[in-house]
Chains A and B, each alone.
Chain A
Amino acid sequence: MSESNGAMIEMIKVSKIYQPDIRALSDVSVSIAQGEMFFLIGMSGAGKTTFLKLLCNMETPTNGLIEIAGRDIQKLRGKTLARMRQKIGVAYQDFKLLTDRTVAENIAISMEVSYKKPQHIKKRVRDLLDRLALADKHDAITGELSRGEQQRVALARAVANSPTLILVDEPTGNLDATTTRRVMDLLTKCNHSGATVIIATHDDSIYRDTQHRIMELRSGKLHLIREGLPQ
């Protein structure tokens, strides 16, 4: 995925209205550059999750255009859509983990669908678990973990396949300060190796001191809070 003008995401006048009449997003326009780290903040119910779901094609916008790496994602079907999704890592707010599988199996899934070699998968899983302080949970059944642990497994799965776009929804909701630090370190590392990272959160501890762009959703509209420093 590469685009000449450097924009990873183009959203133009995007609205999302849930049935019957819930206006989650109205006329949102934003351009996010390749390799940018972007914070999306807002109160509960502001539409952050909706914003991310539109980007990964889980929901379709009621109006407006969404382009990722120069392609209108609503027009993607079949194989092209699958390939696009392999390049987008998402850590869902509700995790979407397979609770009857082990932690390692859950993380491996995102690499298996793009046919990575088994040795590579094993190595990558170990490495990620180390970074997220979950090394001893490799073979644990995911459903038996604490919320905070599950949250990190979801994050590990999102970044495992080295996607070019990473969407994280509330990555630190259940974590203490030290573990939050580890999570942010991992995301920063992914960002440094080229990935575009979008973090939706209302945890001000992770964006308080950041150099990156911060935008806030307020009643479905997007407002700039802080301009990112040029890198």
Chain B
Amino acid sequence: MSFWLAVLRQVARNLRQTWPSQFMTLLTVSLSVLIFAFFYLVYMNMLGVGDKLGDDLRLIVYLEEEPGPEMQEQLRRKILAFDEVEQIRFISKAEAYQRFADQLGNDRDVLDDMPRDFLPASIEVVPLKNLRSLSQVKLFSDYLARLPGTLKVQYGQDWIERFYYFTRLLSIVVLLSGGLLIMTTVFMVSYTIRLTILGRQAELELLRLVGATNNYIRTPFLIEGVLQGILGSTVGIISLYTLFHWIKLRFSGPGILTIFEFSFFQGPTVATIIFISVLLCTVGSYLSMQKFLRI
């Protein structure tokens, strides 16, 4: 009989003997994967939405007077003192006038009577597109408003900031549920395997006496862990996918969900989640064996 055939027979026997606890473990693993993947999915989609919002986000600092080159350099240094930014652009009164005129298009003749410098000079600041800088847009704008010579600061709606604050909160939830996933899978799997080992002490002892190698005794338990990982994470992901589609169908009317395109995980992400679950379950079964299999 080949090694693997013998090992698989052992696994089948284990599962038959301890299926109630095996089933509970499977359920726990699936649920943990589901919870984690759910929050992660929401988070990913939020990031996607954030990217779109971030594209349009810029702060416009209106200045009392047009800065000379030296003044521009000073302001630039002051801005960078707060945080790194994607871009800083100075717009002179003439440029502002030109832009406005371009925007008016055919109606530009209403400007004919206006002086060429009636619009204030300004600085356009484009913040970096990362969560940290985006979530402190308000702080940034307050800081800019306090710079000498500024009239006022304009930026996109308040809710952008709140949105990023929420995303940050969500990232904490993702981390927490990830921690939960690690704990439950490792502990549950090591717990069930401990049950199996303790329930079969006599048999494992006999196997050693008749000359079973360590691998012969150990591998079935490792396979059990791997199976728990594969099945548990697959069930978890499939449940999430079903949930995802249900929500999409259910709320496909007009509203925020239609403005933004929500998407499920890509293949590699799914593979990574499954791989990590398998790894965790294997660690769980390994821990149990280290403790309870006296070889």
- Which residues from chain A sit less than 8 Å from chain B, CB to CB? 56, 58, 78-79, 82-88, 90, 96, 98, 109-118, 121, 157, 161
Closest CB-CB distance, A226 to chain B, in whole Å? Answer: 31
Contacts of B2 in A (CB 8 A): 115
Q: Is A121 a contact of B1 with CB atoms below 8 Å?
A: yes
Q: Is B211 a contact of A117 with CB atoms below 8 Å?
A: no
Q: Is B210 a contact of A113 with CB atoms below 8 Å?
A: yes
Q: Is A79 a contact of B206 with CB atoms below 8 Å?
A: no
7 cross-chain pairs, A with B, having the tightest CB-CB distances, nearest first: A85-B211, A86-B211, A113-B212, A82-B213, A110-B210, A115-B1, A82-B211
Once bound together, how far apart are the Cα atoms of A117 and B5, in whole Å?
Answer: 10
B6 interface hit (Cβ, 8 Å): yes
- Which residues from chain B sit less than 8 Å from chain A, CB to CB? 1-3, 5-6, 9, 202-203, 206-214, 216
Closest CB-CB distance, A80 to chain B, in whole Å? Answer: 10
Closest to A87 in B: B211
Once bound together, how far apart are the Cα atoms of A91 and B110, in whole Å?
Answer: 111
Closest CB-CB distance, B9 to chain A, in whole Å? Answer: 8
Closest CB-CB distance, A134 to chain B, in whole Å? Answer: 19
Once bound together, how far apart are the Cα atoms of A82 and B211, in whole Å?
Answer: 4
Q: A85-B209, A90-B209, A121-B1 are in contact. Are A113 and B216 (CB under 8 A)?
A: yes
Q: Is A79 a contact of B213 with CB atoms below 8 Å?
A: yes
Q: A115-B1, A118-B1, A121-B1 are in contact. Are A109 and B214 (CB under 8 A)?
A: no
Q: A117-B1, A121-B1 are in contact. Are A83 and B206 (CB under 8 A)?
A: no
Once bound together, how far apart are the Cα atoms of A116 and B1, in whole Å?
Answer: 4
Once bound together, how far apart are the Cα atoms of A112 and B217, in whole Å?
Answer: 12
A–B Cβ pairs within 8 angstroms, 17 of them: A78-B214, A82-B211, A82-B213, A85-B208, A86-B210, A86-B211, A87-B211, A98-B203, A110-B210, A111-B1, A112-B9, A113-B6, A115-B2, A115-B6, A118-B1, A118-B5, A157-B210
Once bound together, how far apart are the Cα atoms of A117 and B9, in whole Å?
Answer: 14
Q: Which residue of B5, B202, B211 is within 8 Å of A113 (Cβ)?
A: B211
Q: Is A83 a contact of B211 with CB atoms below 8 Å?
A: yes
New A-B contacts (7) at CB < 8 Å, excluding given A78-B213, A96-B206, A114-B211: A56-B209, A79-B214, A82-B214, A109-B207, A109-B210, A110-B211, A121-B1
Closest CB-CB distance, B163 to chain A, in whole Å? Answer: 60
Q: Is B213 a contact of A96 with CB atoms below 8 Å?
A: no
Closest CB-CB distance, B96 to chain A, in whole Å? Answer: 82
Closest to B3 in A: A115
Q: Is A98 a contact of B202 with CB atoms below 8 Å?
A: yes
Q: Is B209 a contact of A112 with CB atoms below 8 Å?
A: no
Closest CB-CB distance, B254 to chain A, in whole Å? Answer: 64
Q: Is B207 a contact of A113 with CB atoms below 8 Å?
A: yes
Most chain A CB inside 10 Å of its own CB: which residue of B9, B203, B211, B213: B211
Q: Is A98 a contact of B210 with CB atoms below 8 Å?
A: no
Q: Is A82 a contact of B212 with CB atoms below 8 Å?
A: yes
Contacts of A114 in B (CB 8 A): 211
Contacts of B212 in A (CB 8 A): 82, 113
Once bound together, how far apart are the Cα atoms of A157 and B207, in whole Å?
Answer: 12
Once bound together, how far apart are the Cα atoms of A201 and B203, in whole Å?
Answer: 26
Contacts of B203 in A (CB 8 A): 98
Most chain A CB inside 10 Å of its own CB: which residue of B2, B6, B207, B210: B210
Contacts of A115 in B (CB 8 A): 1-3, 6
